[in-house]
Every structure is written in C-alpha cells, then in structure tokens.
Amino acid sequence: MRVLIVGSLGGQLHTATKIAIDRGARVAQVDTVAQATAHLRAGRGADLLMVDASLDIQALIAANAAERITVPVVACGVNIRPEAAAAAIRAGAKEFIPLPPDAELIAAVLEAVADDERPMIARDPAMKQVIELADRIAASDASVLITGESGSGKEVMARYVHSRSKRASKPFVSVNCAAIPENLLESELFGHEKGAFTGAVARRVGKFEEADGGTLLLDEISEMDARLQAKLLRALQEREIDRVGGAQPVKVNIRVLATSNRDLNKAVADGTFREDLLFRLNVVNLALPPLRDRPADILAMAEHFAKKYATANGIGDRPISDAARGALTARPWPGNVRELENTMHRAVLLASGTEIGPEAIRMPDGSLFSGGPAGSVANRAAQAADEVQRTMVGRTVADVEQDLILETLDHCLGNRTHAANILGISIRTLRNKLKLYMEQGITVPAPGDTRAGAA
C-alpha cells in the first residue's frame, strides 16, 4: 500500500506518517498539489492521497483527471469546521479524516483502499491444493490467471504469489480494469507523452513502467476493451509498451498476473475476449474454489475476522458459540470471503454476551442471518435465539437499521468510511441512508463529531 501525503497536515505530518507506516504503508510526502501530480506523473506511484484540507483539493483532482491519473483522495485537517469537511467531499475527496489522527480511522481508510493486509488462510484441502500449486510456480516468471467467484480472494492470492517470487522486493502494482473507464485505462496502463491529448502537459509513466522489476496485477481482465487487449498482447509478447502518443517503444521487465470472475473460454466463444491473449495469460491457472466448497476455511476465517474486528473496535475477544458455528457453516456464502468478513464485523458489534451467538449473525439490513434450510438445526437455533431478543419486538427493521447506523457513526466520530466498513455496506449506501435521515430531521453526526456533540 503506497500513500502520498500532500501538505503539512496542520503540523500533524509526523504522527500521520508514523501511523500509516505502522499499518504497513509505504509513505512519501510532497508540499503542494502541483508536486503531487508531478510525483504521480513520474511513475513513483500511490494507491491513496492524504491531502491537507487547506490545499486546493478540487484543483488537484482536476489536474490528475486531465492527465488521466486515477488515485483516490482523502482530505485531512486540524480543527476543520463541518462545512469545510463537506466542501472537501464535494470537491472530490472520498473521505475526511480529522486531525490529530486516530490510528483506527487511518487503518480503516487504508483497508478500504487495498487488500494488502489480508492474510492467506487455508485449512481446507481444496484450498491447500491451490496454494501448493501457487508455491510451485511462484518463483517463475510465468503469467498466471487467477479465477474464481467475486469475493473469493483472487487479489489476496495474487499478492501471495508475488510475495514468494524472486520479485518480492520490487513493486506490486494492481490495476482494476473494471473500475477505470476505457478512455482512461490505456493511459493508466501504458502512460502517455506530452501533448498526446488535451491536458497531457507532460510525459506520464503508466502502470507497466511503474511495476518495472516487479509484478503487475490486471484485476478483472475480462472487462478490458478489445482494442486494449491487442495492445496488451503485444506488451506480453515483446516485453515492451507504447505510451499513448509515443514514437518509440519502452522496454519493461515485469511479471503479469490477471484475475477474472468470468469464464474466459466462454468470453472467447462469444467474441468478447481474444483467444491468443487468453493463451498468453493462462500459462498457469489458479482456480480458487468458492467458500461453500471449502467448509474447513469458513470457521478459521470467521475466527480471524472476529479477533480482527474486536481489536479494531476496542472490544474484548468473544468466542463463536457452537450454534453460531453451525449457522456459519450451513450458509452457502454467495459473497464468499468478502461476505463472511462483513458478517463477522457486524457480529462483533451486535454480540451482547460473552460470546458471539447466532442472534448476532445478521444480514446487512439487520434481519436474522439463517445459514441453511428452514429445518436445519442451525436455523432453528438461530430462530430461537432471535425470539429471545425482546428489545427488538414491535420495532421495524428500518428502525433497528437506523439505530445501528447512527450508533456506529457515533462510535467512529462521524467517519463515513470507517462506519461503512464496520457495517459491511458501501460508502454510497451509507451516504444515501444519512441523506434520508437528515431529510427526516434526524440528527446525523458530522465528520469528527457525535450526535451528542452536534446537539
């Protein structure tokens, strides 16, 4: 995880830098927005910009956009009024962090941006077979295609392969091909020369050159446009790339990993993916089984996530009860590891006793989480536990959801990113809920505040 700090952060630069480094980030710092764009343009790279709220955030984002640079921005500031924080969000910042910085808030922001800190947990024989294959091929320079359902851990596997390769000390650069618009992706991957298009005021180094000597992960490769597929194929074959508007090819020394949650053989048959590119990428295929097919991993991961979020929220460790374990293992987990992590995050917050019971295993909307068929032992146990939650009787799901959202936001001192992460919902969903509450006249904590402080 690479963090670029822009500005002095109101004198909190040293503290914020230390927290980010302690959380595993590689940190660089520049003073001005112009220097930030120049840093990114030169290919020194960043996964997140932490920008002093006193700087012109809108100008920074506009300058990056003009040169087709896509890096999320988080605003930071000391004694910033709520309206100034809101202005930073309107300018394009993804979130606002009040300073002096809180270690857990910064950790939540870093975690929301990257999956670097997610360990490889494998107890099930089906997953152990995949890891054994990954270990055998990690030291080579062979291209690897990592396939599996959404949320099954494909990027975690990619980082695992990189960490065991001879390139482990070099950069690991990830590009989400599905998240970047087609007209920006070419420049993001290959870079561009000065004057290549309106706004290209200087040469920009792309991700291929940024990853030189290391590993480039092309996440969700199936979403790449056919024209870019042809350019990518040439880059893989010749080990050189052409910047947009460039006259001379540029040699690159990288290993390429790719992921897909789609059947690429079917995409080839449908004419949406090049067969020769599939052959070039699929030297080795690491096919990740869905979580429902690796039951021994479910409880191991559930325990890991329960400890992780108990620590993150200052809550003592709570073991998972037998009834809750039954509910967890009976669940088909359509969202795979991502869904399990969010579920355990909620469970840690909702558990009312000394252990996590089935009543704490709930869906994002607050409804009871039933793991298996209606007649299963786990489901009956979960239903029985739910019936004893007398405080819920007579209340609507919307009421319970509203209380959970606002109490979580109070706990996070109004930090939307941290709250959304805890609740297991997207930041967009959270903001839509909060907008609705404010329209109804309900007090919503501002960034850096609680409802008590707002009142």
Cα 11 from Cα 33, distance rounded (Å): 17
What is the share, in percent, of the chain residues with pLDDT greater than 90?
Answer: 36
Rg over CA atoms, the chain: 23
316, 373: one domain: yes
Structural domain contains residue 118: no
Last residue of a domain, one of 272, 287, 302: 287
146: left (phi over 0), alpha (psi -120 to 50) or beta: beta
pLDDT tens across 135-181, in order?
Answer: 999 999 999 999 999 889 999 999 999 999 999 988 899 898 888 88
pLDDT digits (tens, 9 = 90+) for 76-124: 888 777 787 888 888 888 888 887 767 666 766 666 655 455 778 899 9
With a cut of 50, say whether residue 449 has pLDDT above it: yes
Residues 369 and 245 in one domain: no
**Are 408 and 386 contained in the same domain?**
no
Token pair for residue 41?
């343009």
Looking at the structure, tell me whether residues 415 and 361 fall in a common domain.
no
What's the pLDDT tens digit per position in 341-354? 889 988 998 888 88
Q: What is the mean pLDDT of the chain?
A: 84
Residue 440 lies in a domain: yes
Distance CA 417, CA 248 (A): 43
Dist. CA 118–CA 306, nearest whole Å: 14
For 63, the domain range is 2-113
Structure tokens at 414: 């109004």
Which of 233, 267, 287 corresponds to the end of one domain? Answer: 287
What CATH number did the domain enclosing 86 receive?
3.40.50.2300
Residues 164 and 92 in one domain: no
Average pLDDT over residues 405-431: 80
The DSSP letter of residue 305 is H
Burial 136-149 (b: 16+ CB within 10 A, else e): ebbeeeebbbbbbb
pLDDT tens digits along 320-344: 999 999 889 888 998 899 899 889 9
The residue type found at 173 is: V
What pLDDT sits at residue 233?
A: 94
CATH number where 377 lies: 1.10.8.60
pLDDT beyond 90 at 396:
no
Same domain, 403 and 386: no
Last residue of a domain, which of 113, 145, 172? 113
For residues 145 and 160, state if they share a domain: yes
Average pLDDT, integer, range 42-56: 85
Please check whether residues 267 and 295 belong to one and the same domain.
no
- State pTM to two decimals: 0.67
392 DSSP 8-state letter: G
Closest Cα to residue 361, out of 395, 394, 321?
A: 321
Q: Residue 434, Cβ neighbours under 10 Å: how many? A: 19
Q: How far apart are CA 424 and CA 420, in angstroms?
A: 6
Distances in whole angstroms, Cα of residue 137 to Cα of each of 100, 141, 215 = 45, 8, 14
Q: Is residue 40 assigned to a domain?
A: yes
Give the Å distances, CA to CA, from 368 to 299, 320, 365, 379. Answer: 19, 16, 9, 10
Tally of structural domains, the chain: 4
Output the pLDDT for position 146: 97
In a domain, 119, yes or no: no
Q: How far from the centroid of its chain's Cα atoms is residue 242's Cα?
A: 30
pLDDT greater than 50 at residue 371: no
Q: Is residue 406 part of a domain?
A: yes
Question: Are 255 and 230 members of one domain?
Answer: yes
Q: Is pLDDT above 50 for 40?
A: yes
Q: What is the pLDDT of residue 107?
A: 66
Check residue 21 and give its pLDDT: 81
- Structure confidence at residue 209 as a pLDDT band (50, 70, 90): very high
Same domain, 19 and 79: yes
